[in-house]
Homo-oligomer: A and B are copies of this chain.
Amino acid sequence: MKKNQQGQGRATLRDVADAAGVSIMTVSNVVNGKTARVSDEIRLLVKEKIKDLKYVPHLRGRGLRLAKDFAIGLVMLHPERRFLNDPFNTEVAAGMSNKLAQNGYGLLIFGAQNSKDLENKLPRISQLDALAVYIFGDTAQRDAVYTKLAALGLPMLLIGDEANDSLADASFVRQTNEEGAFQLAELGLSNGARKILFMRPDHFWPAMAQRELGARKAAAGRADVETMICTEINFQAVVSQVKTRLSANPPDFVMGGNDLFGIAATQAALQLGFSIKKDLMITGFNGFAFREYSMPLLTSMRSPAYEIGEAAAAALLKRITKGSFPGGKVLNVEFLPGDTCA
């Protein structure tokens, strides 16, 4: 029966309790659906007052008591400052955000360009309930970051990677990169490809490595595979790099590690007067919206990035509410026909 400050500021449990003439605990029980502990009559009365006062539980108070934040972090270590420029990241974020919001959780997004940059954000990150992490770099670099993040003691879900045994409280969600690339390579091979050029960026990325591996497995004993590493600074730079490579030693099949590379190869081929599909087959990987902006339409593989985000959120939610992670999940990529290959 303290300062029942109706009207000013948000209503609290105490406001509702006073209005209903019951104790604060009874209101709490009603709010949390502990129906067995409250009589129907009182329950209805309390519910009415809750509506009247527009009472919404304060996450701060509840969080302090329960040691929870109702917020999950998505940490992306990506060489670009505009880390969200990559549609893969973006779709993962959208999928997570939507899924979490449905469950009353919020998604906090943290981009870092390198390990040191990440350091500064650790104090804020450490206050969350759990983390989804999407980290670029080679195995050693990624493991170093995972270890550092794991030290925060938060449940962690790895995106696009497999959970290492050294990570105690972790799981993962990834997609079938190797299988997808295998399938694309098979398509080219069955249409006569004998000299394959695989294009990938100059920074390491597990997905890229898996795609290259898939291509090489398919080609083993049937075709040569060479890898071209492109500095991804800007699109036009990639186009001229490919152009040079195509004129010097022309392959019959260019496999872009992602659609950007496939599109760059398409433009290079066009500029050099190659007959695409006949002289030179081209494929990409990912199948995000911008793929359609390039002509002829790039043959590609759709990455279920949005679904990966949803699955990541679901796994994290399960870990938080049920106490344990589900096993790692692998989502399938899907063939996207186009006009640049067979």
Which residues of A are interface residues toward B (Cβ below 8 A)? 10, 56, 58-61, 63-64, 67, 69-71, 73, 81-85, 87, 90-91, 93-95, 97-98, 101-102, 104-111, 120-121, 123-124, 126-127, 153, 234-236, 260, 263, 267, 270, 288-290, 292-295, 306
Besides A56-B126, A73-B106, A98-B111, 14 more A-B contacts (Cβ < 8 Å) are: A56-B123, A60-B67, A60-B69, A60-B127, A71-B106, A81-B98, A84-B94, A90-B90, A97-B109, A97-B110, A101-B110, A106-B110, A107-B108, A293-B294
A–B Cβ pairs within 8 angstroms, 22 of them: A10-B126, A56-B126, A59-B69, A59-B127, A60-B60, A70-B124, A71-B71, A73-B106, A82-B94, A82-B306, A84-B93, A85-B288, A85-B289, A93-B93, A93-B109, A94-B111, A104-B123, A109-B109, A235-B293, A260-B293, A294-B294, A295-B295
Residues on the B chain within 8 Å of A95, using CB: 82
For residue A67, give the distance in angstroms from its CB to the closest CB of chain B.
8
For residue A161, give the distance in angstroms from its CB to the closest CB of chain B.
22
Known: A101-B110, A109-B93, A111-B98. A235 touches B292 (CB 8 A): yes
Question: How many copies of this chain does the complex contain?
Answer: 2
Residues on the B chain within 8 Å of A102, using CB: 120
